[in-house]
């Protein structure tokens, strides 16, 4: 009973939100470097405002982030102290191929991640590596229009070949695209797509064409990973959260079901290997013409993922009458407010049971092992007069979600491989760009405008989570 013996406990981060050092050792510029903090961020993230170069009046938090690029040894030592079995992190494409379309990789970038993976292994930590956590070289954005262009598949294939070959034996768990469904909701942040000059119909077409290219690239990456090392395990990664019907009115139920399908489209292709009929119907109905190559269908069919991973922060609500319900705020996934749930300081609704519901649903749909690779609470932690952070609210959030996951394993028979909470250390928020939206077990002294010593200190949740891992999830 309880968690399996080899359960992969850990935490997660992403390169651009943590590393900084945006222009060191030949690193190229990426879409994710160019997201400013402040009120224009959203429009840039959505691909509505074009900002392909740094502008003087803006602050770009990813440039230096929490400087993990230089402090990785100290940071991984802390993860070792926590007893992590796994650490989910991402590689920056632009460290390895600074422009994206070069033939030869940048050795300095490859060496850097080799050192990081070896450092993890020193503590018995298994790296879980996201190949693209939203990032894409700006050169590819400017020259090719990013993922709307089929050439991206070749560039990405090069990256994958280099990475799988170089890190063979050091890394065996891979996620290809972080929250692949985010391309529909935040096209520039998630996929380097600027769409501000297109009408609604053209936008849809570009987003789904880019999605198709990513899905083909995902299948190709899975194929190469298995060829290079049969030990490799590749997962898809879905930004998850079920839509509950606002009421038991069948109209609300249907809307919710259809909204879920917009997300499941991606994992359906990745896990089952074919385009679902509902998406083909949508394309026909809306006149969205997607360019397929002959070989795509076979590639998708033959290279499905080994496991299903997902982020889960909250559930969502669907209604046929949005005008009568209150909208949530603060998230890229827009939703109607659920009157039964409390909200975080950023308006994200807190729903531990929704995690169990999600696990059941994804297992029923795919019958593949599941991996929860993001789950956590963003809060504005304030150190007390002794400098301590008593983040009981975070402990409660994590504890309630882990309990729900335990129920899914114990009561519902769902196989879960692991859990990497977001984020083990405070990093820059992807959605808001703020530093004060903190998720970490480790506090980092830095504010929204980059002031601070970058000093790391343990929060109360650090010791708590260490005990959770030590007891294999018994001590919650
Ligand atoms: P933040 C919403 C908005 C942006 C990224 O989000 C998101 C989501 C939620 O699904 O996805 C993930 O930092 C993402 C991480 C991100 C985390 O959620 O906006 O994979 O990069 O930091 C939390 O509070």
Instruction: Name the residue ranges covered by the structural domains of the chain.
Output: 8-470
CB 133 within 8 A of CB 178: yes
332: CA distance to ligand 1 center in Å?
A: 9
CB 319 within 8 A of CB 247: yes
Residue 361: active-site member? no
pLDDT at 210 over 70: yes
Which residue's CA is minimally distant from atom 15 of ligand 1?
430
Say which CATH architecture domain 8-470 belongs to: Alpha-Beta Barrel (3.20)
How confident is the model over 95-107, as pLDDT tens digits?
999 999 999 999 9
The helix or strand, by DSSP H or E, that contains position 214, with its residue range, turns out to be helix 200-228
CB 47 within 8 A of CB 457: no
Residues 388-394: what's their mean pLDDT?
98
User: pLDDT at position 332, please?
Assistant: 66
Other Cβ atoms less than 10 A from the Cβ of 164: the count is: 21
C-alpha 434/C-alpha 451 separation (Å) is 12
CB 304 within 8 A of CB 272: yes
Band the pLDDT of 361: cuts 50, 70, 90.
Answer: very high
Strand partners, 195: none
Band the pLDDT of 4: cuts 50, 70, 90.
Answer: very high
Which residue's CA is minimally distant from atom 21 of ligand 1?
430
Residues 67-84: what's their mean pLDDT?
98
CB 409 within 8 A of CB 419: no
Band the pLDDT of 382: cuts 50, 70, 90.
Answer: very high
434: CA distance to ligand 1 center in Å?
A: 12
CB 371 within 8 A of CB 174: no
Q: Which atom of ligand 1 is nearest to the CA of 45?
A: 4
From the list 19, 119, 126, 179, the catalytic residue is: 179
Which residue's CA is minimally distant from atom 24 of ligand 1?
429
Other Cβ atoms less than 10 A from the Cβ of 10: the count is: 27
pTM for the full model? 0.97
Instruction: Annotate 111-122 with b (16+ C-beta within 10 A) or e (fewer).
Output: ebbeebbebbee
291: CA distance to ligand 1 center in Å?
A: 30
Q: Which atom of ligand 1 is nearest to the CA of 333?
A: 2
Q: Which atom of ligand 1 is nearest to the CA of 432?
A: 19
From the list 19, 119, 126, 374, the catalytic residue is: 374
CB 434 within 8 A of CB 41: no
C-alpha 287/C-alpha 302 separation (Å) is 28
Residues 403-425: what's their mean pLDDT?
98
372: CA distance to ligand 1 center in Å?
A: 14
pLDDT at 459 over 70: yes
Contacts of residue 354, defined as CB under 8 A and 6 or more positions apart, other chains included, come to 241, 242, 312, 314, 315, 404
Strand partners, 458: 442
Percentage, residues of the chain above pLDDT 90: 96
- Three-state DSSP at 259 gives helix
User: pLDDT at position 326, please?
Assistant: 75
Closest CA to 116 of 79, 142, 63: 79
Give CA torsion, residues 445, 447, 453, 455, to 10 deg. Answer: 20
Encoded tokens for 138: 């700006």
Q: Which atom of ligand 1 is nearest to the CA of 179?
A: 20
Contacts of residue 134, defined as CB under 8 A and 6 or more positions apart, other chains included, come to 14, 16, 31, 32, 178, 179, 182, 189, 190, 191, 430
E strands present in 102-254:
126-132, 173-177, 233-240, 243-245
C-alpha 201/C-alpha 311 separation (Å) is 29
Residues 408-420: what's their mean pLDDT?
98
364: CA distance to ligand 1 center in Å?
A: 26
190: CA distance to ligand 1 center in Å?
A: 11
For ligand 1, residues with CB inside 6 Å are 14, 17, 178-179, 239, 311, 313, 331-332, 374, 378, 422, 429-432, 437
How confident is the model over 168-195, as pLDDT tens digits?
999 999 999 999 999 999 999 999 999 9
Residues 354-372: what's their mean pLDDT?
98
pLDDT at 203 over 70: yes
Strand partners, 308: 236, 370
Closest CA to 126 of 229, 223, 225, 7: 7
Which residue's CA is minimally distant from atom 17 of ligand 1?
430
How confident is the model over 298-349, as pLDDT tens digits?
999 999 999 999 999 999 999 998 887 777 666 666 678 999 999 999 999 9
pLDDT, the chain, mean: 97
E strands present in 173-232:
173-177
Encoded tokens for 187: 């096209």
Residue 157: active-site member? no
How confident is the model over 108-152, as pLDDT tens digits?
999 999 999 999 999 999 999 999 999 999 999 999 999 999 999
């Amino acid at each position: 009973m309880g968690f399996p013996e080899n359960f992969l406990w850990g935490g997660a981060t992403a390169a651009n939100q943590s590393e900084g050092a945006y222009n060191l050792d030949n690193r190229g510029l990426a879409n994710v470097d160019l997201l400013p903090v402040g009120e224009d961020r959203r429009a840039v993230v959505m691909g509505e405002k074009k900002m392909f170069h740094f502008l003087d009046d803006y602050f770009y938090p990813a440039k230096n982030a929490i400087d993990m690029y230089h402090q990785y040894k100290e940071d991984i030592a802390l993860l070792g102290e926590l007893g992590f079995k796994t650490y989910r992190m991402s590689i920056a494409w632009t460290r390895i191929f600074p422009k994206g379309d070069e033939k030869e990789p940048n050795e300095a970038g490859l060496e850097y991640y080799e050192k990081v993976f070896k450092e993890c292994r020193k503590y018995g930590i298994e790296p879980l590596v996201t190949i693209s956590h939203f990032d894409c070289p700006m050169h590819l954005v400017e020259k090719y229009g990013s993922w709307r262009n089929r050439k991206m598949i070749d560039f990405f294939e090069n990256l994958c070949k280099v990475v799988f070959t170089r890190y063979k034996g050091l890394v065996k768990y891979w996620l290809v695209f972080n929250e692949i469904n985010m391309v529909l909701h935040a096209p520039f942040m998630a996929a380097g797509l600027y769409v501000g000059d297109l009408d609604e119909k053209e936008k849809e077409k570009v987003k789904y064409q880019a999605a198709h290219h990513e899905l083909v690239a995902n299948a190709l990456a899975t194929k190469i990973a298995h060829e290079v090392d049969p030990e490799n395990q590749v997962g898809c990664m879905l930004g998850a959260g079920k839509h509950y019907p606002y009421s038991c009115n069948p109209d609300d139920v249907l809307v919710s079901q259809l909204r879920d399908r917009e997300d499941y489209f991606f994992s359906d292709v990745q896990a089952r290997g074919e385009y679902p009929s509902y998406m083909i119907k949508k394309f026909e109905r809306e006149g969205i013409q997607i360019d397929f190559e002959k070989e795509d269908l076979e590639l998708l069919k033959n290279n499905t993922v080994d496991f299903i991973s997902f982020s889960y922060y909250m559930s969502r609500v669907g209604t046929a009458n949005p005008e009568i319900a209150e909208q949530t705020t603060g998230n890229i996934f827009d939703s109607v407010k659920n009157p039964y749930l409390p909200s975080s300081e950023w308006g994200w609704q807190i729903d531990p049971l929704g995690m169990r519901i999600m696990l059941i649903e994804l297992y029923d749909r795919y019958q593949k092992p599941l991996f929860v690779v993001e789950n956590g609470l963003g809060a504005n932690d304030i150190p007390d007069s002794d400098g301590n952070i008593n983040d009981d609210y975070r402990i409660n959030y994590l504890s309630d979600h882990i309990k729900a996951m335990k129920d899914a394993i114990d009561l519902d028979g769902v196989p879960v491989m692991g859990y990497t909470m977001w984020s083990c250390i405070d990093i820059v928020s992807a959605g808001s760009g703020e530093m004060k939206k903190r998720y970490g077990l480790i506090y980092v002294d830095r504010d929204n405008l980059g002031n601070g010593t970058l000093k790391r200190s343990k929060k109360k949740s650090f010791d708590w989570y260490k005990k959770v891992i030590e007891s294999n999830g018994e001590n919650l």
